[in-house]
Copies of this chain bind each other. A is one copy, B any other.
Amino acid sequence: MRTKRAPVIDGLQYANWSGKIFRQMREGGVDAVHVTISYHENFRETVLNIEQWNRWFEQYPDLIFHGRWASDVDVAIDSNRTAIFFGFQNPAPIEDDIGLVEIVHTLGARFMQLTYNNQSLLATGCYEENDPGVTRMGKQVIKEMNRVGLVVDMSHSAEHSTLQAIEISERPIAITHANPQNWHPALRNKSDTVLKALAESGGMLGFSFYPHHLAGKTECTLQSFCEMAARTAELMGINQIGIGSDLCQDQPDSVVEWMRVGRWSKEIDYGEGTADKPGFPPQPAWFTDNRSFPGLRKGLLDAGFNEDDADKVLGLNWLKFFAENFDKQA
């Protein structure tokens, strides 16, 4: 029986981090955030990004600290700070070296996507034409991720690869930031088939507020979003859903270009954008930064969630998932 208040946990952000944003996390009552620290960065470059985080932890000790375990969420609550958990949106940081899975876990990584839109060494991304599924190395890496407690994240993966990863992984996987295709049919959103398989395996879906994943995009209403969340709770169960806002606050458009193109193409790929709108799209008015969480709670209650279920969606489900999936396999 939990004695502390329920936490607020965001299952994915990739902001242009600053003291301002860390203060907004506190203002919004956000106890833990899974932050992306790598897209196309190789191992050494990812370590440089961790070094930058270590500097922020030194510079803002009253606002944030490095979260490693589920228990750190309670440390965050007790100390009025936000626990920052690391993750990768691509397996680039482990290069072609399975030994790096344990190394990055030791350095704090807790989520790793097997793919980011494209084919990787491990699986197929959601923008590829063909989806041959989890590769030979992918199977080995999933096993190693299971062993050390690095969560498989299939947010940017293709359908067949995702279903295979759910099947192959001995521990539940996550789709940290995506929405149902039945609400908004984007390539990045997920089919009912995937969502059901995810839920049945004990996995988690984090709802995204990235406009390209929202019905009506920037104009999406809080009501429409929360009604979708309620329908998804019926589809997946109330215990398998959370938030993964995909908040990219204060990022210059050069960053979305890096996310989409990295070093893999000399030509621009617009991803979810278009040639005439290549940048980050404007956020919906009801989710602009970490201070939007209290309003989100109100929206969920208005859509029919009771207080306990709103607690689950806003953090308790992620907390349970963290507790069961971040440590070494028993």
Interface residues of chain A, those whose CB is within 8 Å of chain B, are: 43-44, 47-48, 50-52, 54-55, 97, 99-100, 102-103, 106-108
Contact = CB atoms under 8 A, between A and B. Distances in A.
Contacts of A52: 99
A51 B47 CA distance: 16
15 contacts: A43-B44, A43-B47, A44-B44, A47-B100, A47-B103, A48-B97, A48-B99, A51-B97, A51-B103, A52-B99, A54-B102, A55-B99, A103-B107, A106-B106, A107-B107
A52 to B, nearest CB: 8
A51 B97 CA distance: 10
A326 to B, nearest CB: 16
Contacts of A54: 99, 102-103
A51 B99 CA distance: 5
Nearest to A48: B99
A108 B102 CA distance: 13
A93 B205 CA distance: 39
A131 B33 CA distance: 49
B51 A102 contact: yes
A47 B105 CA distance: 13
Nearest to A52: B99
A55 B103 CA distance: 12
A60 B102 CA distance: 17
A50 B103 CA distance: 8
A255 to B, nearest CB: 21
Contacts of A48: 97, 99
A239 B245 CA distance: 56
A103 to B, nearest CB: 6
A102 B44 CA distance: 14
A99 B103 CA distance: 17
A55 B44 CA distance: 21
Contacts of A108: 106
Nearest to A57: B102
Give the 6 A-B CB pairs with smallest separation, nearest first.
A51-B99, A54-B102, A47-B103, A106-B107, A44-B44, A51-B103
Nearest to A148: B54
Contacts of A51: 97, 99-100, 102-103
A52 B99 CA distance: 8
Nearest to A68: B106
Contacts of A43: 44, 47
A36 B272 CA distance: 49
Contacts of A107: 103, 106-107
Nearest to A147: B58
A160 to B, nearest CB: 31
Contacts of A44: 43-44
A20 to B, nearest CB: 23
Nearest to A47: B103
A54 B108 CA distance: 16
